Amino acid sequence: MMQEDVLVVEDVRKSFGGRVALDGASLRIARGSITGVIGPNGSGKSTLFNIVAGTLPPDAGRVLFDGKDLAHTSPAEICRRGLGRTFQISRLFSELTVLENLVVVAHGLSDADAVQRALELLDFLEISALRDKWGAELSYGQRKLVEIARALMLAPRVMLLDEPFAGINPRLQNRIVEHLQALRTQGLTLFFIDHEMRIVLEICDDLYVLAEGQVIAHGDAAAIRADERVKEAYF
Amino acid sequence: MKSALLIAVVLLAAASIPLYAGSYPVSFLVQTFIFIGLAYSWNLIGGYAGYTHFGQVTFFGLGAYVGAISIGNGVPWLWATLLAALFAAVCAALLGGIMLRLKGPFFAIGMFGIARVCESLALGLDNITQGGTGLYLTAVDLERVYYAAGAVVLILLIATWRLDSSRLGLQLLSIREDETAAAALGVRTTRLKIGTFIASAFMPGALGSLYACYLGYIDPTTAFAPMTELTVIAMVLLGGMGTVLGPLVGALALSVVNEVLWARLPEIYLALVGVIILIAVLFMPRGIVNFAQRRAWSWVPTPRGHLRRLAERRGKVNPPPKRFARPAQGGNAGGPAEPDPRRP
């Protein structure tokens, strides 16, 4: 990658009890790129995301965002520095409406500006009709879209998407891809985990393959397709 | 306009009650006000932030003792009440930093333990509190306590109403809904929780002191009574947690029911109150006000109305796309006709 790296993960280790989830994983995410992480279930992908977002502290190694070490930084602060995220399992606030789900995370905006921004995002993702629905009322696919809208409310520079395509029908998947690519042209860096190989191989500039907590392959889609170890671990 | 008129009438009526009513109804109302005030305070931390707990009576009891001791040392009762409130808030600040690391049932039971510790201290430190004998003070004129407690209720009602339509209130609700997600989305959960906990202890401190003024007496079992705690929680549950009118409705309903049944059926009144709460919880698990809001009854204000109005206004300037208006190939995830993602 020619550009500088906005997010750097250096030799991160994490184990839960005796089980090693991450065993010295290192990744570099270039500014303005779409970077994907793939790997079998239990390979440490979500742990990696939780460490990057500050929800879990790493046992060793460090995460640099814009060149600054994120150690001892709370998830809220990391988020406010420009790192938005969605969750693998929907974590919308179910007793709030969609509009409120968005407005609640608008930091440093007046109420009117926050509402304005929320309405624009709902419009951008073509879910304006959901505005006054309760979080609990939404279908699975709608939740995924609202989660993306909510992460965008934060006006992030880097967005972590945890399995945005899992369990979504192909047509909606294509729509999400379109939106993500539109966001990238606006300068957003996207870093995501997914199992949907069709999309991952199609849209990612850069790919990492995790297996048993280690990066076993790194490169563009063609390189990953050709890699023997990836075939063995994943395909 | 109509509601403003209604509020004015209710306020005037409430303010004039001591002028013509006897001491029994005024006394009943003082107790009711104290319960409403406690219910509103508990609603802040338990209803909005979702940190339900069984230890609010800690701050009520501490307030009662600080108030009684201050009055005993010649502080005027209103200043003593302010002092009691501040003392309760400081205690909450110290306790909050420790206790709010606990979540769910651990926090709830932990706070119950704190109340019991305070009760034991009040019993044990008899050179300050006179132990089980209790502290006696000259009772303050009933009317004055009535207006003071009424003012506390009014302040809490207005504060809750303001909170409900603010982003701060939304952030508290987000903590209740999913604290980890809220933190990951930039909500500063720790300071919000502690701040709310302090705010939820301030008025119980004041009300404790007013209660001591009202009774003219305070002892550990009165100050830290678990029954007070449970009644307050039952009131908020009955009225609706995390709503503006819930604590008021719940406290009024339960106080009136209590009073009526207690006078008529003294032998079985507690059992009857239990049955009524049981039925209410079965049919309205989220309380009366939530029940009414879901059915959009006209007398109940919409929750977080302020944001909705803002959105309506913006929506008119820039109308949202109509249902089914989008071409089919663009997909229609937002519309009601979204294909079921589970469908193959």
Please give the ipTM for the structure prediction: 0.85
pLDDT value for A235: 63
Binned at pLDDT 50, 70 and 90, residue B204 comes out as: very high
CB B326 within 8 A of CB A126: yes
Asked if pLDDT for residue A137 goes beyond 50, the answer is: yes
**Consecutive H or E run containing A14:** strand A5-16
User: Chain A, 117-146: which have a CB under 8 Å from a chain B CB?
Assistant: 118-119, 122-123, 125-132, 135, 139-142, 145
Using the structure block, give the residue that is written with the tokens 């909510």: A150
Q: Is residue B5 part of a domain?
A: no
- Alpha-helical (H) ranges within A94-139 are 98-103, 111-124
What's the number of domains chain A is made of?
Answer: 1
Q: Is residue B193 part of a domain?
A: yes
pLDDT value for A163: 87
Which residue in B183, B336, B341 is closest to A172 by CB distance? Answer: B341
CB A153 within 8 A of CB A101: no
The rounded distance, in Å, linking the Cα atoms of A18 and B120 is: 44
pLDDT value for B88: 95
Task: Give mean pLDDT, residues A101-118.
Answer: 88
Between these two residues, A235 and B125, which has the higher pLDDT value?
B125
Closest residue in A to B314 (Cα) is A116
Q: Cα-flanking dihedrals φ and ψ of residue B135, to 5°?
A: -105, 135
Task: Give mean pLDDT, residues B22-45.
Answer: 92
Beta strands A158-162; A19-30: pairing state: unpaired
The rounded distance, in Å, linking the Cα atoms of B233 and B239 is: 10
Task: Give mean pLDDT, residues A27-47.
Answer: 87
pLDDT value for B342: 38
C-alpha dist (Å) from residue A55 to A77, A145, B175, B185, B289 = 11, 22, 15, 11, 36
Task: Give mean pLDDT, residues A89-100.
Answer: 88
Residues of the domain holding B216? 21-226
Please list every residue in chain A whose beta carbon sits closer than 8 Å to the beta carbon of residue B343. 169
Please list every residue in chain B whose beta carbon sits closer than 8 Å to the beta carbon of residue A151. 185
> What percent of chain A has pLDDT above 90?
7
CB A187 within 8 A of CB A194: no
- Alpha-helical (H) ranges within chain B are 2-20, 23-42, 57-72, 77-99, 104-124, 126-129, 142-164, 167-177, 179-184, 189-215, 220-223, 226-239, 246-264, 269-283, 287-294, 305-317
Q: Is residue B282 part of a domain?
A: no
The rounded distance, in Å, linking the Cα atoms of A101 and A104 is: 6
Q: Does B316 reach chain A within 8 Å, measured CB to CB?
A: no
Q: A76-88: per-residue pLDDT in tens?
A: 999 988 888 888 8
Asked if pLDDT for residue A4 goes beyond 90, the answer is: no
Asked if pLDDT for residue B37 goes beyond 90, the answer is: yes
Q: Does B194 reach chain A within 8 Å, measured CB to CB?
A: no
Q: Mean pLDDT of all residues in chain A?
A: 86
Residues of the domain holding A89? 5-233
DSSP code at position A135: G
Q: Lowest mean pLDDT of B58-67, B85-94, B328-337, name the range.
A: B328-337
pLDDT value for A194: 84
Q: Is residue B344 part of a domain?
A: no
Neighbours of A18 (CB within 10 A): 5
C-alpha dist (Å) from residue A193 to A37, A190, A224, B185, B223 = 5, 10, 15, 18, 56
Please list every residue in chain A whose beta carbon sits closer than 8 Å to the beta carbon of residue B310. 111-112, 115
What's the number of domains chain B is made of?
Answer: 1
Q: Is residue B83 part of a domain?
A: yes
Q: Is residue B333 part of a domain?
A: no
Between these two residues, B307 and B82, which has the higher pLDDT value?
B82
Q: Lowest mean pLDDT of A224-233, B56-65, B286-295, name the range.
A: A224-233
> What percent of chain A has pLDDT above 70?
98
The rounded distance, in Å, linking the Cα atoms of A225 and A38 is: 12
Please list every residue in chain B whose beta carbon sits closer than 8 Å to the beta carbon of residue A159. none
Please list every residue in chain A whose beta carbon sits closer than 8 Å to the beta carbon of residue B335. 129
pLDDT value for B15: 85
The rounded distance, in Å, linking the Cα atoms of A125 and B272 is: 53
> What percent of chain B has pLDDT above 70?
89
> CA torsion B72→B201→B96→B240, rounded to 10°?
150
With an 8 Å Cβ cutoff, are B185 and A80 in contact?
A: no
Q: What is the reported pTM?
A: 0.85
Q: Is residue B115 part of a domain?
A: yes
Q: Lowest mean pLDDT of A160-174, B22-36, B151-165, name the range.
A: A160-174
CB A9 within 8 A of CB A63: yes
Q: B212-263: per-residue pLDDT in tens?
A: 999 989 999 999 998 889 889 999 999 988 888 999 999 999 898 888 888 8
The rounded distance, in Å, linking the Cα atoms of B124 and B259 is: 34
Using the structure block, give the residue that is written with the tokens 């009772």: B139
User: Chain A, 157-216: which have a CB under 8 Å from a chain B CB?
Assistant: 167-169, 171-172, 174-175
- A219: exposed, middle or buried (Cβ count in 10 Å: 0-12, 13-18, 19+): middle
pLDDT value for B326: 34
Q: B284-339: per-residue pLDDT in tens?
A: 888 888 888 777 666 667 777 778 888 888 765 554 443 333 333 333 333 333 33
Q: Indicate the residue type of A234.
A: Y
The CATH number that applies at residue A74 is 3.40.50.300
